Structure formats: C-alpha cells, structure tokens
Amino acid sequence: MPNAITIFSPSSVSNVGPGFDILGFALDDLGDKITLTLIDGDYDIKSIGAELPSDPDQNVATVALKSLAKSCGYQGGFSIQIEKKFKPGSGLGSSASSAAGAVFAANELLELGLSKKELIPYALDGEQVASGQRHGDNIVPCMLGGFVAVKSVEPYEGFHIDTPEDLKVLIIFPDVPIKTAEARKILPQEVPLKTGIQQAADMAGLVISLMTADYELIKGCLEDHFGTPYRKRLIPFFDEVKEMAFEAGAYGFNISGSGPAMFAFFKKGDDLESLKHQIVQQYKGADIEVRFHESGINKKGCEVL
C-alpha cells in the first residue's frame, strides 16, 4: 500500500438554471489537485493558491476525511495538500472539490473499496461545514462527473443527463466576494405557485433540450425563477454581461452556484475572444478583475493522477 496519492477533483457549476439546488455539472481542466498522505499523527493541512482553514474541524476536506475515517475505523492521521486554481467563494464548487477529492483520495489510499456513490455522504459532511447545507449539486457532479440531477442526498438519488458532445461552457468570474450562506439568506422562503410552475416547466424544457441537443430550446429554458432574480443583484453587471453573451450567440446564461461566477453555453469552436474583451472592458470601469475559463463538461469526476 503506497502511503501517498495525488488526485484531481473538478470544479463544478451548480444551481444550473431551473435546477436550483438540483442540477450541476463538472468542468474540465479546473479544480483541486490534492495530495493525500497517510501519517501517524493527526491532521495536517497545506494549501496552495488559496488560504484554506488550517483547523481540521473547519476545513471541509479534513472534516470529510474524519467522517470517512470514523466510519471505516481508520485510526491514523492524514497530511493533505490542496492546490486550488480558483479561490473559494467563486461559485464553482470549491468546497465540494476539496471535500469530494479528499474522500476519493482516502478511499483509494486506504483501499476501502467504496464506490464513488458510497463516498458522497462523507463528502457532504465536509461541504456542510462551508455552506451549512447538504445539497448534492456540486458534490455529485464533482465526484461522478457529467451533468447530474440530484433528487435527494440521503439516501443519494440522482440521475445522469446526457449533454450534447459539442457543448462548451464559458465561465466568467468577476472577482467580488459572495458568501454562499449570505446568498441563501436573501432568498424568500415562499414562492408564488405560478413561479413554482414556471420553474418546473423550464426544468422539463432544459432536460429535454439537453438530451436532444436542441440548442435553441436550451437557451429558452436555462432560466431560474427561484434564486437568480435575487442573487443577480450581488453580481455587478450581471444583466449587461448576460446581454453581451447572448449577442455573442450564447445558448443560455446564468449564475454558477451562488455566484459571483457566471456560466454561458456555447458550441465547441465558437470564438469567444471578442466577448471576453467586451466583458473585461465592462468590469475595468469598476476596477473589478475578471477571469475566464472555457471547457467542455468533465465526464470523469474525481480521478487519480
């Protein structure tokens, strides 16, 4: 048994349009690179690219590891090194990447033989520390890969949605701070029945359009009537950027997670340089830095490097 392993755990987009708290997908080429080492002592955390909590009871990765260790009877410690490309609080499932990646790595290293689905509850234990919630729409796509709908997390019940092969995601990340817990507080706890019906209708349309690669329909249905109308106010220039994206031919646009990152759908091969330039100019006026990421949907989820 080796005593160290390095894995990749992808970033993910959750709250996908009408899939508030339900739909999420994993991203290629963006996420956490985690090296986990078995040690005799306690828990040791090293973070690269972001300042993560060093208290093992506050860090999502070590909380997830502790939960798994308790369940499987592992008495030793872990040294974990987490290398982040995006900082936490971006809306790209940073805590899910760390929590899912940590338990995925531990399962491999300790040869526990648990399936990825069986690891989900431990990863949720970790993510809960950061978000105060147990939603699976980041953890599940991060762990399993692909585009998923999460019906319930305990017990885990979810389903994979086939997406068009040539779908490309553009992530737009303006560097303004948003805390998931705060973004949740501003939401009303009741919605008009009519709004609930609209959300379900767009969900039907989005699922059908993804499964049949009907891009025009995706565009019409990638709306969220529960969270976006409130949360978009926390994101400077949301409406302006959305309009730019649509003018550049986007097939849908919305907030990633609880923001500030936004995502837009395009087709592979679409040239987005001019759009990016426009967006950079928009934010420059307000002295806000903006970053981009272009990728396909990650089909693998967590993987050993």
Catalytic residues: 127, 180
Piece of 18-26, 248-256, 264-272, 281-289 that binds its own copies (CB under 8 A) = 18-26
Q: Least distance in Å: CB of 216 to its own copies?
A: 11
Phi, psi (rounded to 5 degrees) for 23? -100, 140
Q: Is 48 in the site for its own copies (CB under 8 A)?
A: no
Segment 209 to 268, residues that bind its own copies, using CB under 8 A: 209, 211, 217, 220-221, 226
Q: Which residue carries 């999502």 as its tokens? A: 60
Q: Of the two residues 121 and 205, which places its CB atom closer to its own copies in the complex? A: 205
Q: Least distance in Å: CB of 89 to its own copies?
A: 23
Phi-psi category of 3—alpha, beta or left, where left has phi over 0 and alpha has psi -120 to 50?
A: alpha
Query: CB neighbours of 264 closer than 8 A, spacing ≥ 6?
Result: 169, 170, 172, 245, 250, 251, 252, 253
Q: Of the two residues 167 and 207, which places its CB atom closer to its own copies in the complex? A: 207
Query: CB neighbours of 170 closer than 8 A, spacing ≥ 6?
Result: 245, 250, 263, 264, 265, 266, 272, 275, 292, 293, 294
Cα 149 to chain center, whole Å?
13
Q: Least distance in Å: CB of 205 to its own copies?
A: 5
Nearest to 30 by CA among 94, 111, 75: 94
Q: Is 22 in the site for its own copies (CB under 8 A)?
A: yes
Q: Is 188 in the site for its own copies (CB under 8 A)?
A: yes
Piece of 96-104, 108-116, 182-190, 264-272 that binds its own copies (CB under 8 A) = 182-190
The pair of structure tokens assigned to 83 is: 């290398």
- Determine which residue in the list 189, 239, 269, 273 makes contact with its own copies, applying CB under 8 A: 189
Do the Cβ atoms of 142 and 100 come closer than 8 Å? yes
Q: Is 165 in the site for its own copies (CB under 8 A)?
A: no
Q: Of the two residues 52 and 207, which places its CB atom closer to its own copies in the complex? A: 207
Q: Is 304 in the site for its own copies (CB under 8 A)?
A: no
Q: Least distance in Å: CB of 295 to its own copies?
A: 23
Phi-psi category of 166—alpha, beta or left, where left has phi over 0 and alpha has psi -120 to 50?
A: alpha
Do the Cβ atoms of 101 and 61 come closer than 8 Å? yes
**Total of residues contacting its own copies (CB under 8 A):** 38
Q: Of the two residues 174 and 205, which places its CB atom closer to its own copies in the complex? A: 205
* Helix orientation angle between 60-72 and 94-109, rounded to the nearest 10 degrees: 30
Q: Of the two residues 76 and 188, which places its CB atom closer to its own copies in the complex? A: 188
Q: Of the two residues 62 and 138, which places its CB atom closer to its own copies in the complex? A: 138
Nearest to 103 by CA among 88, 84, 124, 130: 124
Q: Is 196 in the site for its own copies (CB under 8 A)?
A: yes
Nearest to 169 by CA among 27, 30, 23, 9: 27
Q: Least distance in Å: CB of 143 to its own copies?
A: 18
Q: Least distance in Å: CB of 198 to its own copies?
A: 9
For binding to its own copies (CB under 8 A), which residues are involved?
A: 18-23, 149-152, 157, 159, 161, 187-193, 195-197, 199-205, 207-209, 211, 217, 220-221, 226
